[in-house]
Every structure is written in C-alpha cells, then in structure tokens.
Amino acid sequence: MVIPLHAQPPRRFIADFFTTFTEAVVHGSEDPSDLMSRFYTRDVVQVADGIPLDWDRLVAHLGPVRKNLREFRFEVDEALADGCRIATRFTIHARMRKAGPVSTRVHMFAEFTPDGLLRRAEQLTRSVTPAESGAGE
C-alpha cells in the first residue's frame, strides 16, 4: 500500500514509492496489471525523455524489468511538494542481469492522487558515472 504524499516528507514519499514498487516488480509474482493498479492510475501518462508511456506500455515494461533487474536503490537528492504535485531529482542505482552497475539521474515533475497513486509524470533522464552520482563515495 502506498502512503499518501501528505503523510510524509516528499523525499521519503518518492524513495518509498519507487522502492516499494520496484521491489514488488523484481521480487514479486503478482500479475503486472494488478501490481500497477496499486501504484498508478488507469489513466496514467508518464513521459520519459519525450516518449509517452500509458498504462499498457508501462505494464509491458514490467516484464523486462522483472527479468533483468537484479539490484537497485533510489537516492533522492531533493523533492518539493505542492499539494499532490511533486518535483524531484533522484538517482537510480541498478545492476542488470547481463551488465555491470548503471546509474541514472532522473528529474521528474509528477502529479499523484490524494491516496498516493501516480497519475502524470514528466521525466528527463541521463546516465551518470559513479563519481557524478555519489555512488563511488
């Protein structure tokens, strides 16, 4: 269950949201559509680097993530909330099945429902080195 945004600091909300969701994707056996419904609205639109992903595209993305992601953690650098809207900058640190570690910096503007489901997101991402991400410290 997602804890509503207003019930905790924005940085904690973002870290918990993505960690809990990714943990359920990677280590769970729940049907992807059922899993998505616990974290996203049916009318979700997530635009990542100019590519719009709707419900069906996001559900389809879960299979490859479940198969290939081995380790992960989210490092939230900052997050500001205004009601159900949030602006955040975070880094995803991951290890994939057939690759070494990768880190991706994410800048996101998002809208959540009052009960903590993601409705809309605009994301800009870029790969970063361990030194840039702080992972090498």
- Distance between the two ends of the chain, CA-based, in angstroms? 33
| CATH number of the domain to which 75 belongs | 3.10.450.50
Residue 98 in this model has a pLDDT that exceeds 90: no
Mean pLDDT for the chain? 90
What CA–CA distance (Å, rounded) separates 121 from 43? 12
Give the domain extent around 119: 5-133
Query: What's the Cα-to-Cα distance from 47 to each of 50, 66, 134, rounded to whole Å?
Result: 6, 21, 26
pLDDT of residue 130: 63
Render pLDDT for 55-91 as a digit per residue (tens, 0 to 9).
Answer: 999 999 988 888 889 889 999 999 999 999 999 999 9
pLDDT of residue 28: 85
What CA–CA distance (Å, rounded) separates 56 from 89? 26
Q: What is this structure's pTM?
A: 0.87
pLDDT of residue 81: 95
Render pLDDT for 5-56 as a digit per residue (tens, 0 to 9).
Answer: 667 899 999 999 999 999 999 888 889 999 999 999 999 999 999 999 999 9
Alpha-carbon dihedral 38, 51, 125, 54, rounded to 10 degrees: 0
The DSSP output letter for 4 is P
Domains identified in the chain, total number: 1
